């Protein structure tokens, strides 16, 4: 009976969630490293390797075919037309999953880590400590790494607590959503960690015990519009047998001097509605009313829903939450997972979102293990596998029962931006929920983020597709348009810029205008694309960028040059997802990247240099214990533009991907 029960449990997990319990293979595949080797710097860059520079686009068979190179006159050159990705370096860290890059002059990279067989943890990399080149003993002595000492079951999204959010809290703090559906990991919670990693660290559980429920995300919201924010979160419960449960929950911050005192925790809990389970987004469709809207990607119910909330004040009793409307936006989107609100027309910080970006997290395997076989189809949902959707947020009478009751109402029109995301066959069988994962909107340059003239780029973490994807706006700016923007029909047109395959699970992405410094920045190699490290000898396969492919380093090492990192003006940058969060959770004083312009040549020159800054993309590889750093860049230095190539079974296709 015990054997039969164990087999039944294994079959249920593998069938419903793509989970395999082959722990021996998982542990054998993972060789955890706790320190960086002495022959590498803090970013994992080798100090004694040859640099191979890719000066032109190469075909998959490395043919030097001139027909793929096109000359663009400088007068017609547009850097947005020829952006590429440049590999910068890597960070060695165990089991990186969720990444969170904080703001400030001395920013931190928070990394959540978890495992099927071990407890979870939250690690901090002090990016500001990498401002100057350090190697050897100096690097080892630098206070670069830190983190939370308190243990977790399965930490998911980690977010810094903005100053002034919690009454009486003056030290640094983190909000951690914890738990997963696996037995032993599913009694999750939402924690506030004060002074994380410091001598006075405190881990405070803000949620009451709810057996079997786990949390992926939690945000601060002033739901009662009193200036006192509470925590809005979604939680899920999935027993081995039976239906899953999901709840949208609000935890009210006590109106006392010290809301974190032992007699005040856990905070008061209000279950708002059922259904929301994993990820959600807070938006405000109508700024003139008293409601906010919660868009939930209901993974287990396989649908996208909206709940409109408003305060219901009772002067003789406690505040209450009123559900003004609840509607199903899409019941045919599949297992909805990632959801992000973004303005796909202008992308200006502070502008209201125009679309919801939603991923459908499908468990469909790629029929082959070669990275090149997987093909993503843009503009269609017929390629199978997971899908990236864009839903247009209505602008008129959206609350009329989900019916087009007013002229101009478009009713959450859905458009498939890309499909064909599949689970990679070589994925270690620790757990394989599906692909793709979370979705992000960003601008490739600081100038683009400031001006907001063009739609943002879109990035997708492939999760078990073992890749990340960058999509670029397909429609160019219509200069004859009196409105100076994109038409509604063109706002959600995107094409694939590139796919970054890494041979491991990509659970999330992080973005920032990081100022990466190289020792020989003054030489003539500056700005060119370096080859990535050669992973072909490792068990999980190769690493390449498809669409704009880098040739592998023959020596199997990383590019040369000691690398260190610092951040300049990161507080002026955030992804559009974070912009919308700030706007609709009433976080003040966010200027969205604006700089004062002075009548000073030095200041103007400095501003011009900052505006040309390209964004960096941080991409974790969970299975190989690495975080890769890439940069959006114009690798041709403003002179050459190459066709984007795609290929399948060794056949080149010269049409843009």
297 pLDDT band, cuts 50/70/90, is: very high
The reported pLDDT for the residue numbered 603 is: 53
446 pLDDT band, cuts 50/70/90, is: confident
459: enclosing H helix or E strand: strand 457-461
pLDDT higher than 70, residue 420: yes
Q: What DSSP string runs through 331-374?
A: SSS-SEEEEEEE-SS---TTSPP-EEEEEE-B--B-SSS-GGG-
- As a whole-number percent, the residues of the chain with pLDDT over 70 amount to 58
For the segment 463-513, what is each residue's pLDDT rounded down to a tens digit? 998 889 999 888 554 444 444 444 434 567 898 888 888 888 999 999 988
In angstroms, what CA-CA distances link 447 with 572, 605, 635? 11, 13, 18
431 pLDDT band, cuts 50/70/90, is: low
pLDDT higher than 90, residue 81: no
Task: Pick 324 or 73 by higher pLDDT.
Answer: 324
The reported pLDDT for the residue numbered 503 is: 82
In angstroms, what CA-CA distances link 483 with 453, 490, 565? 11, 14, 40
Within 8 A by CB and 6+ apart from 606, the residues are none
Task: Pick 109 or 32 by higher pLDDT.
Answer: 109
Query: Which range is least confidently modeled, 79-83, 144-148, 253-257?
Result: 79-83
pLDDT higher than 90, residue 389: yes
- What does the pLDDT average to over 283-291? 88
For the segment 48-72, what is each residue's pLDDT rounded down to a tens digit? 222 222 222 323 333 333 333 333 3
Within 8 A by CB and 6+ apart from 191, the residues are 150, 152, 175, 176, 178, 203, 204, 205, 206
- Of 223, 251, 119, give the one whose Cα is nearest residue 178: 119
Question: In the chain, what are the domain boundaries?
Answer: 2-653
The reported pLDDT for the residue numbered 484 is: 44
- What does the pLDDT average to over 272-299? 94
The reported pLDDT for the residue numbered 438 is: 97
The reported pLDDT for the residue numbered 416 is: 94
242 pLDDT band, cuts 50/70/90, is: confident
What are the tokens at 184?
A: 């032993």
């Amino acid at each position: 009976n015990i054997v039969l029960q164990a087999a039944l449990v294994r079959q249920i997990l593998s069938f419903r969630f793509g989970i395999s319990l082959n722990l021996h293979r998982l542990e054998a595949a993972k060789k955890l490293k706790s320190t960086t080797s002495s022959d590498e710097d803090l970013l994992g860059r080798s100090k004694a390797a040859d640099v191979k520079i890719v000066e032109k686009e190469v075909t998959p068979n490395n043919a030097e075919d001139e027909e793929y190179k096109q000359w663009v006159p400088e007068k017609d050159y547009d850097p947005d037309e020829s952006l590429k990705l440049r590999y910068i370096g890597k960070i060695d860290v165990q089991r990186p999953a969720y990444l969170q890059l904080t703001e400030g002059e001395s920013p931190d990279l928070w990394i959540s880590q978890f495992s099927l067989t071990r407890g979870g943890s939250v690690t901090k990399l002090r990016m500001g400590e990498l401002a100057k080149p350090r190697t050897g003993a100096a690097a080892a002595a630098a206070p670069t790494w830190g983190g939370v000492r308190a243990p977790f079951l399965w930490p998911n999204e980690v977010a810094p607590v903005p100053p002034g959010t919690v009454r009486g809290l003056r030290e640094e703090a983190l909000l951690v959503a914890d738990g997963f559906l696996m037995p032993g990991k599913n009694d999750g919670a939402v924690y506030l960690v004060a002074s994380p990693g410091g001598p006075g660290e405190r881990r405070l559980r803000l949620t009451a015990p709810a057996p079997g429920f786990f949390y992926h995300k939690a945000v601060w919201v002033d739901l009662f519009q009193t200036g006192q924010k509470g925590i809005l979160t979604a939680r899920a419960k999935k027993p081995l047998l039976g239906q899953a449960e999901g709840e949208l929950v609000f935890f009210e911050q006590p109106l006392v001097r010290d809301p974190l005192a032992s007699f005040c925790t856990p905070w008061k809990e209000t279950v708002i509605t059922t259904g929301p389970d994993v990820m959600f987004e807070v938006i405000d469709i109508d700024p003139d009313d008293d409601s906010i809207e919660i868009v939930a990607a209901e993974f287990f119910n396989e649908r996208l829903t909206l709940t409109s909330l408003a305060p219901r004040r009772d002067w003789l009793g406690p505040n209450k939450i009123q559900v003004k409307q609840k509607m199903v936006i899409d019941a045919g989107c599949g297992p909805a997972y990632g959801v992000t609100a973004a303005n796909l027309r202008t992308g200006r910080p502070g502008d209201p979102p125009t679309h919801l970006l939603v991923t459908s997290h499908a468990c469909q395997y790629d029929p082959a293990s070669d990275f090149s076989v997987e093909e993503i189809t843009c503009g269609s949902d017929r390629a199978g596998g997971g899908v990236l959707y864009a839903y247009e947020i209505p602008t008129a009478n959206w609350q009329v029962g989900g019916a087009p009751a007013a002229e101009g109402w478009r009713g959450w029109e859905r458009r498939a931006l890309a499909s064909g995301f599949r689970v990679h066959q070589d994925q270690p069988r620790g757990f394989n929920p599906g692909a793709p994962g979370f979705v992000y909107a960003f601008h490739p340059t600081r100038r683009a983020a400031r001006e907001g003239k063009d739609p943002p780029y879109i990035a997708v973490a492939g999760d078990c597709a073992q890749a990340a994807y960058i999509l670029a706006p397909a429609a160019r700016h219509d200069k004859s348009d009196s409105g100076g923007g994109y038409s509604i029909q063109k706002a959600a047109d995107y094409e694939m810029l590139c796919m970054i395959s890494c041979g491991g699970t990509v659970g999330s992405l992080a973005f920032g205008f990081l100022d990466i410094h190289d020792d020989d920045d003054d030489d003539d190699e500056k700005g060119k694309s370096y080859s990535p490290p050669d992973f072909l000898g490792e068990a999980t396969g190769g690493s390449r960028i498809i669409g704009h492919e880098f040739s592998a380093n023959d020596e199997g090492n990383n590019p040369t040059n000691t690398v260190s990192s610092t951040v300049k003006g990161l507080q002026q940058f955030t992804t559009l997802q974070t912009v919308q969060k700030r706007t609709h959770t009433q976080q003040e004083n966010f200027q969205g990247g604006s700089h004062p312009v002075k009548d000073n040549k030095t200041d103007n020159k400095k501003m011009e240099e900052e505006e040309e800054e390209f964004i960096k993309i941080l991409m974790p590889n969970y299975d190989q214990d690495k975080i890769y750093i890439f940069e959006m860049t114009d690798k041709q230095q403003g002179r050459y533009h190459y066709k984007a190539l795609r290929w399948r079974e060794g056949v080149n296709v010269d049409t843009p991907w």
